Structure 1
Amino acid sequence: MQALDLYATIEEYLDFEDEVHHLYKTIGHTVLSKEPKTLIDIGCGQGEFCHIMELNGIKSFGVDLSAKQIEIAVSKGTDAKCIDIKDIKETYDCATATFDVINYIPQNTIKEFLESCYQVVNKEGYFIFDINSLYGFENVAQGTLNIDLKDKFIAIDANFKENILYTDITLFTQEDKEKSFKKDSGTIEQFCYKKDELSSLLQTIGFEVENIINFNLHTDEEFDKYIFVCKKG
């Protein structure tokens, strides 16, 4: 099982619901203030943000590279597709990439990815996304988590080194009454980006960085996220 699909399988057990809603509320208000008619959510996961935007009258479409996530999103009624953003031909008033999506993009492809995001946004449209801060990686994301369920055991071990967060996921699933277990495992990598360097790259591509919002998601001590609000000139 691919690492992103493995994450999709265990996501419902991670108890991040309050954090997700907190982030979606802030990004959602930011999006609504721009009054877009159409939106594409890049890395849409299971489609919750698209659903929220639809309820607010914005025609929304989601894309994700995880077939498992898209399967779940579509089953919930989201207009979504498992496709790379670079292959999208349509354009939208607003593009979003929520809950660490940018941090999943490798450093050697980040410029190409952001250029693809630029191409799917209409002129005078917006690109709104969040990234983890260095504090978020070093002091929040690292650690271990074990979840023992009736027919599953989940082990997560996250380590941050040389500006990359390596998250090892192991899932044991009971297959029969004899208590034999199937093992799936994978590693997800997330990359730390400095907000000033990312701002310069966005401006080089053609975005105007209107605002960078300091955001507390998991802690009140220091900002563990930044929300970028960018406009296509």
Structure 2
Amino acid sequence: MGLELYARVEEYLNFQDEVKELHSTFLGLIFEKGLDDIIDIGCGQGTFMMHLLANGVNAYGIDLSVEQIKVCQAYNLNADAISLDKVNEKFNCATAIFDVINYIPKNELKQFFKDASSVLNDNGYFIFDINSLFGFEEVAQGSLNIKDEDRFIAIDAIFENEELKTDITLFSKTKNNLYEKEADTITQYYHDIQFLKNIIIDSGFKLEEIINFNLHTDEEADKLIFICKK
């Protein structure tokens, strides 16, 4: 699914400010509800876990990218490269931040939410964000080229038939001053709000709130934050 290649180019995409803003919002929700003992699903390189730990909140992370988890473990974070259904512990809160839910195909969502419920204690929370339709159509599409002395990155994203396909191409300079090419594709899926509501309820959650969130533009909400309670 392109996760490993994306992990290698992510630091060059200049999303630091957006990630910081979204993390700050999730932290505020966790503090507001007095939650601790968090599992961060799709934890990436562990930045959100570091914020949690810095504020005295116990955190565990999982991600399907082995490369991302290697970074977490280099920082001595408690994280594993496993899928959600392999987690045996129970937590008071689960988070899935920055498009994690959009990487899950529609036909796998119901099982994913059941797995999320199974790792939560009674009255536990599942807090996650998704891209809105506006976010997919007006923000996520487009092309980006990044070049420095050692690499060239080309990213092309097209949204069609409720899927955002992002082609990633990386040219890396070798010791012989030649370039090695790697390419892969990431797919994200648009999930209709009512479709998600039905799955949330069927999975044993109560949907407490949906927050409209302007992450990339003030024109219209490009993200939605869901707060669900088991």
TM-score (norm 2): 0.98
> How many residues were matched structurally?
230
Q: Aligned equivalents of 2:65 and 2:145: distance in 1?
A: 23
Q: Deviation of residue 37 (structure 1)?
A: 2.5
Partner of 2:12: 13
The answer as to 2:56 corresponding to 1:57 is: yes
Q: Does the residue aligned with 2:106 lie in a helix, a strand or coil?
A: coil
Partner of 2:101: 102
Q: Which amino acid aligns with 2:222?
A: D
Partner of 2:219: 221
Q: Which amino acid aligns with 1:137?
A: F
Partner of 2:198: 200
Q: Aligned equivalents of 2:188 and 2:118: distance in 1?
A: 24
Q: Which amino acid aligns with 1:17?
A: Q
Q: Aligned equivalents of 1:199 and 1:52: distance in 2?
A: 29
Q: Does the residue aligned with 1:51 lie in a helix, a strand or coil?
A: helix
Listed one character per residue, the Cα deviations across residues 117-137 of structure 1 (whole Å, up to 9, x for unaligned) are 110111001000000000000
Q: Percent identity?
A: 49
Q: Aligned equivalents of 1:30 and 1:150: distance in 2?
A: 42
Q: Deviation of residue 78 (structure 1)?
A: 1.5
Matches within 5 A, 1:1-233: 3-176=2-175, 178-232=176-230
Q: Deviation of residue 33 (structure 1)?
A: 1.4
Q: Aligned equivalents of 1:161 and 1:91: distance in 2?
A: 38
Q: Does the residue aligned with 1:109 lie in a helix, a strand or coil?
A: helix
Per mean C-alpha deviation after superposition, the further-off stretch among 25-34 and 222-231 is 25-34
RMSD: 0.8
Q: Aligned equivalents of 2:139 and 2:195: distance in 1?
A: 22
Q: Deviation of residue 77 (structure 1)?
A: 2.4
Q: Does the residue aligned with 2:198 lie in a helix, a strand or coil?
A: helix
For structure 2, list consecutive stretches of 5 or more residues without a partner in the other structure.
none
TM-score (norm 1): 0.97
Q: Which amino acid aligns with 1:187?
A: T
Q: Which amino acid aligns with 1:161?
A: E
